[in-house]
Structure 1
């Protein structure tokens, strides 16, 4: 009987140490259509042009005041058009 109680206590203590998963980070909701993507591409292009050097996504977010999602949307548009290129984790005008 003593073994059974010890096992029960261990099981109870094991369940008490289980951690809850962190809540997923909420992403900014934006309207994804050709017009919005084109405007975000323009924002990214203007920021890169003004900087004159390669910029990271976080630097572009600060320069434009847009969310990371919006910057990535604009970068995708400009990459497809061949207007920018990737350079060591940053983007630069092509």
Structure 2
């Protein structure tokens, strides 16, 4: 009995598809330091959202002008996520309205 030898033939196109399919991403090099981003968790309790709504309302009342979410967060010393939760609470109650990209007392 004679053995059959099989040869594997790959085309140039097939080889480039394999090479393009899995690009290599370098995470960090020796010269660069990797920065890790810390994410602040937000307490989603109803009481906390109510307190943030109070912070947003007091900030808007003291400034007496339309403010962006970032401006309110900076003035009230809370995160932008907390500002959005508080603003949603106040919008539901009809105390705050949105004008373009700013919040204003209704």
Does residue 46 in structure 1 map to residue 58 in structure 2?
Answer: yes
TM-score by length of 2: 0.70
Q: Which residue number in structure 2 is paired with residue 22 of structure 1? A: none
1:31 to 28, 43, 64: 43
SS at match of 1:86: strand
**Larger deviation, residues 6-15 vs 41-50:** 6-15
5 Å-filtered alignment, 1:1-94, equals 4-17=10-23, 28-94=40-106
- Which gives a bigger RCO, structure 1 or 2 (Cα 8 Å, sep 6+)? 1
**Larger deviation, residues 25-34 vs 59-68:** 25-34
Q: What is the alpha-carbon distance in structure 1 between the residues aligned to residue 15 and residue 84 of structure 2? A: 51
TM-score by length of 1: 0.77
Gaps of 5+ in 2: 1-6, 26-36
Shift of 1:59: 1.0
Shift of 1:51: 1.4
> How many correspondences in the alignment?
88
Q: Could you give the per-residue CA deviations for residues 61-91 of structure 1, whole angstroms, max 9, x where no partner exists?
A: 1111111111111101111111111111211
Once superposed, what is the RMSD of the aligned Cα atoms? 2.4
